[in-house]
Chains A and B, each alone.
Chain A
Amino acid sequence: MTTAIVGFAIVLLLVLLRLPIAFSMGIVGAFGYAYERGGSILDERGLKATMSMVGRQIMDTAQDYGLSVVPLFILMGLFVNKGGMARELYAVSNAFMGQMRGGIAMATVAACGGFSAICGSSLATAATMSKVAMPELRRFGYSDSLATASIAAGGTLGILIPPSVILVIYGLLTETSIGKLFMAGIVPGLLGIVFYILAVRWTVWRKPESGPAGERASWAERLSALKSTWAVLLLFFLVIGGLYGLLDFQPLNLAFSPTEAAGMGAMGAFVIALCRGGISFAGLRDVLKETSFTTAALFAVLIGAQVFSNFINIAGLPQALIAFVTTYDVPPFAVIMMIIGIYIILGCVFESLSMLLLTVPIFFPVVVSLGFDPIWFGIVVVVVTEISLITPPVGLNVFILKGIVTDVPTATIFKGVTPFWIADILRLALIVLIPTLVLYLPNQMGALGH
């Protein structure tokens, strides 16, 4: 156990020194594995066994059929962006909420929630919505802090509302049903939208000048905006409907696995973008290039994490933690609170996927041995990960915003994010205290889905 803890500390140190996360986990994992196998990091037999494991891991991870869902969902998100669907979602939210004080920021949050239903990445949601919403928020004189914070926080919903790349990876890592995980993300995702809207209300209540009311749309305008969202709804029902067997009737007979759902979603989004003239040959080339770069970077982290996870397992850290919890009779709730605390601290340093890959192999066996539901724990992990996306000093969504809205200081965005961060903590508390909020929908699924 001590070896594993030392290994964990070295990974943290290397990451802070800016060694890529994939290499930090891979190098420490490999030497740790050699140490556990041979009693020394330079033992010949230990090193041979390690290299055999690393070589096999590199070959297997990149050829894993289940993981092909990752590039396909990323691809789908980028095609959706080209298809102009974010603009339509924003227009409809704005038509219904824009006339209220703080309404355009609320519409931004709602549009982010809608966009999350066709995009599985928080960073993509924040990047897309910042281009669509920021000009409008500025036109109506919203304060920079509220405007940027509502996009950064709203963007985090991308990884919770299905489809979600992070939930897919959690599902593959823990052999939990991806269909059930997606279903479990819906209520916490909707709660996220409501809580963020309340955070906007609170901000404008404190500082009315930060979010002036916009123009009231007529009912004819609202209905017209609503009609224009058909492509979003079509894509959502294609992916989710196919996944849960809702399209499995004559003559369609469409029922997908998560991987196939991602492929169908990507193709659907591509066709929509193509029909709308939103994508040229150069645009297609850029999308494919961006997706392959992101995929390679994620897979490098995945391979590094698998090597590290093998070391953690052979070092017996999960078993030692279970033994510790059992011996000292630590209350299960206290264990969950400690795990959440660790996640919030790690979230200050780690990028979301790396944090998940680094910690789930350690915590998952402990949580399951204590009798908690793996689906519920997956959602808790993702909600904590969402919080990390807007937590200083790393807060990746904030930096995405900063990269696009360059004239707003990072400190201003973080200041504006505070009420949203508190809303997130309250939502997390609710999910932890009332697991039914997460588990009701997946429990109703029965045999539906994969």
Chain B
Amino acid sequence: MLRKLQKQTRAFLVAIASLSLFALMTLMFFDVVLRSAFNMPIEAATELTRCLMALVVFAVLPIISTSGGQISVDLLDGVFHRLRLVRIRDAVIALVSGAALIEPARRIWILADRAREYGETTEYLNIPTYLLGSFVFLSVLATSLALIVHGIAVLFGKHSSEGAKQ
């Protein structure tokens, strides 16, 4: 049940990122063509681009962070394997990374909440900016919690670590 929910959430987040990316490409294309051929640029193109970029990046951030998708250097993996420290190292890395995101997540929530209080909106489409801020907050918080859970699971042997898979 839990695994199924996890899989569906993952598919949903990938779909958000993929659709946003495709929309970004299409938007850019039509903006250039309409501006060049008909002198009718899409005025909201810049703000839409900024929103779509945030959706692409933050929709999949929790997924890449817990599936070894973050860029890292595996130069000393052999040493950790020999010392049988891979599991502990990977658990510590996940826990430290997860803990490091708690305070930034709280800060992003404050920024989003402030934007809501002030009634900030985008220039052309009047999209409330707190919506995007809340999405980024949820993504960073989800990444943080997922990393902490992942770290605990790796520590107690419920989940194989990235280094151990290699």
Interface residues of A (CB under 8 A from B): 15-23, 26-27, 30, 51-52, 54-56, 58-59, 62-65, 67-68, 71-72, 75, 242, 251-256, 259-260, 262-264, 266-267, 270, 285, 288-289, 291-293, 295-301, 349-351, 353-354, 393-394
Tell me if B63 and A293 are in contact (CB < 8 A): yes
Please give the distance in Å from B71's CB to the nearest CB on chain A: 5
A sample of 17 inter-chain contacts (CB < 8 A) reads A18-B74, A21-B71, A22-B70, A54-B107, A58-B104, A62-B53, A62-B58, A65-B49, A253-B37, A256-B32, A259-B28, A263-B29, A296-B17, A296-B57, A296-B58, A296-B69, A353-B71
Please give the distance in Å from A275's CB to the nearest CB on chain B: 16
Please give the distance in Å from A293's CB to the nearest CB on chain B: 5
* Cα A79 to Cα B69 with chains together (Å): 21
Q: What residue of chain A has the Cβ atom nearest to residue B79's Cβ?
A: A16
Q: Which residues of B contact A349 (CB under 8 A)?
A: 73, 75
Name, among A18, A23, A51, A297, the residue most crowded by chain B CB atoms within 10 Å (CB to CB): A18
* Cα A21 to Cα B118 with chains together (Å): 36
Q: What residue of chain A has the Cβ atom nearest to residue B59's Cβ?
A: A292
Interface residues of B (CB under 8 A from A): 14, 17-18, 20-22, 24-29, 31-32, 36-37, 46, 49-54, 56-61, 63-65, 69-77, 80, 89-90, 93, 96-97, 100, 103-104, 106-108, 110-111, 132-133, 136, 140, 163
Tell me if B75 and A16 are in contact (CB < 8 A): yes
Q: Which residues of A contact B24 (CB under 8 A)?
A: 68, 71-72, 263
* Cα A298 to Cα B70 with chains together (Å): 8
The verdict on A20 contacting B70 (CB below 8 Å), with A65-B46, A267-B29 known, is: yes
**Is chain B's interface secondary structure helix, strand, loop, or mixed overall?**
helix
Tell me if B111 and A59 are in contact (CB < 8 A): yes
Q: Which residues of A contact B108 (CB under 8 A)?
A: 55, 58-59
Q: Which residues of B contact A18 (CB under 8 A)?
A: 72-74, 76-77, 80, 89-90, 93, 163
- The one of B46, B56, B132, B140 that contacts A71, using a Cβ cutoff of 8 Å: B56
5 tightest CB-CB pairs across the interface, nearest first?
A263-B28, A55-B107, A20-B70, A288-B18, A292-B17
Q: Which residues of B contact A55 (CB under 8 A)?
A: 104, 107-108, 110-111
Tell me if A301 and B71 are in contact (CB < 8 A): yes
Known: A23-B100, A299-B57; 17 extra A-B contacts, CB below 8 A, are A15-B72, A18-B73, A18-B77, A19-B96, A21-B71, A65-B49, A68-B28, A68-B49, A72-B24, A72-B28, A254-B36, A263-B24, A264-B32, A266-B25, A266-B28, A267-B29, A292-B56
Please give the distance in Å from B8's CB to the nearest CB on chain A: 16
Q: Which residues of B contact A16 (CB under 8 A)?
A: 73, 75-76
Q: Which residues of B contact A72 (CB under 8 A)?
A: 24-25, 28
Tell me if B57 and A260 are in contact (CB < 8 A): no
Q: Which residues of B contact A23 (CB under 8 A)?
A: 70, 93, 96-97, 100
Tell me if B72 and A21 are in contact (CB < 8 A): yes
The verdict on A20 contacting B28 (CB below 8 Å), with A54-B107, A63-B51, A296-B61 known, is: no
Tell me if B71 and A297 are in contact (CB < 8 A): yes
The verdict on A20 contacting B36 (CB below 8 Å), with A15-B73, A55-B110, A264-B28 known, is: no
Please give the distance in Å from B26's CB to the nearest CB on chain A: 7
Q: Which residues of A contact B100 (CB under 8 A)?
A: 23, 26-27, 30
Tell me if A288 and B21 are in contact (CB < 8 A): yes
